[in-house]
Amino acid sequence: MKLKSFTQKLLFHSLIFILTITIGNAQEGSPVFNAEFNNPDATTWETLKGDAELMFGGLKYTYTRPFHWEDDDIGLFLGTAIGTAGLNLLDQEAYRFFIRQEEQVPGVIQEFGWYFGSPQNNYGVTGAIYLTGLLTKNPKIRRTGILMISAASAAGLIQTISKNVAGRARPGDGRGRLSFKPFSKEGTYHSFPSGHTILSFTTFYALSKQFESPWVKAGLYLGGLVSPVSRLWRGAHWLTDVALSMALTIAVVDSVDKYLDQQTLMRNNPELRKETKISWRLQMGAGTIGVVGRF
């Protein structure tokens, strides 16, 4: 038990160190990016408050995106839904395949998959990354931390609600892939989506955005797959649970990343902000009253 606890702590602190150093040595951001996220005149408290606003803004932006979808977005959503329906036909066979592989997988990999995908551990890593960027005044690390925390929170809330609404049975309990019990409080009916997958892949996918090299990106994607696949080895989730969770993660991270870019441009270009802002005022005249919007 003590050895396991020591291994977990070693993995935890090593991961924070590796990720932080990796981000710090990622490619340089644009001048606009650095100007926004590295204000030398701001106090630590002012910076923290501003970053908290960005995190919350990322959540709001993500949840309102479906109302602004265009044809391409709707097509991608429908394609994902159709692909998932087809993948569902393979769920039972995939479950048997992954279960057979568990004994051949090194224990340290399985342990890392479960440990890093747990909320308390994952937020510990992403929180430490953000605080490192905040205290060292490193804009790249800070922005990455904001992206990780905001995206994980947005996707995590969707995951929590979906688990209860869907009520899909876990494969390891002997029930079929089409066994559902909506709004059940039993853990055995909380298979979809996979929380470990969402948190783990969010962290690694957000980190991959800091690099241009396809090889580095591919390595980070593989790191993000450890938790999802470990859940399949354990028989805790169906293949479609994991696949849809990864699709959700990608959509949310991309959404928050786009929001942060927009906020950076707006805050560093007053004229752009002025052009896009609408001011409303009440106008009254002889026999008339109305609201006028000035662009």
At residue 110, the pLDDT reads: 74
Q: What is the pLDDT of residue 199?
A: 92
**Per-residue pLDDT at 207 exceeds 60:** yes
**Residue 72's pLDDT band (boundaries 50, 70, 90)?**
confident
Q: Domain total for the chain?
A: 1
Q: How far is CA 188 from each of CA 86, 102, 237, rounded to the nearest angstrom? A: 24, 20, 10
CA distance linking residue 52 with residue 146, whole number of Å: 8
pLDDT, mean of residues 10-16: 56
Query: Nearest-CA neighbor of 259 among 143, 164, 115, 118?
Result: 143
For range 240-262, the mean pLDDT: 92
223 vs 281, residue with greater confidence: 223
Q: Which domain holds residue 261?
A: 1-294
If one counts every other C-beta atom within 10 angstroms of the C-beta of residue 277, the result is: 10
d(CA 256, CA 165): 25
Q: Is the pLDDT of residue 37 over 90?
A: no
Residue 147 or residue 281, greater confidence? 147
User: Residue 55, Cβ neighbours under 10 Å: how many?
Assistant: 21
Highest mean pLDDT among 100-109, 190-199, 268-277, 282-291: 190-199
Distance, in Å, from the CA atom of 236 to the CA atom of 172, rounded to the nearest integer, reads 6
Q: Helix crossing, 119-136 with 107-117: angle to 10°? A: 70
Q: Is 225 exposed, middle or buried (0-12, 13-18, 19+ CB in 10 A)?
A: middle
**What is the Cβ-side half-sphere exposure of residue 130, based on CA atoms within 13 angstroms?**
22
pLDDT on residue 19: 61
> Residue 187's pLDDT is what?
84
With a pLDDT cut of 90, the percent of the chain lying above it is 25
pTM for the model stands at 0.80
178-205 average pLDDT score: 90
Convert the pLDDT of each residue in 114-171 to its tens digit: 778 888 888 988 998 899 889 888 888 899 999 999 999 999 999 989 988 989 999 8
Instruction: Give the model's confidence band at 76: pLDDT under 50 very low, under 70 low, under 90 confident, else very high.
Output: confident
Whole-number pLDDT of residue 172: 76
Contact 147, 253 (CB under 8 A): yes
CB 131, CB 16: distance < 8 Å? no
Question: Who's near 231: CB < 8 A, 6+ residues apart?
Answer: 113, 114, 117, 194, 196, 197, 237, 242
pLDDT at 294 over 60: no
- Name the more confident of 125 and 9: 125
At 134, list the tokens: 């905040």
Contact present, 211 and 227 (Cβ < 8 Å) = no
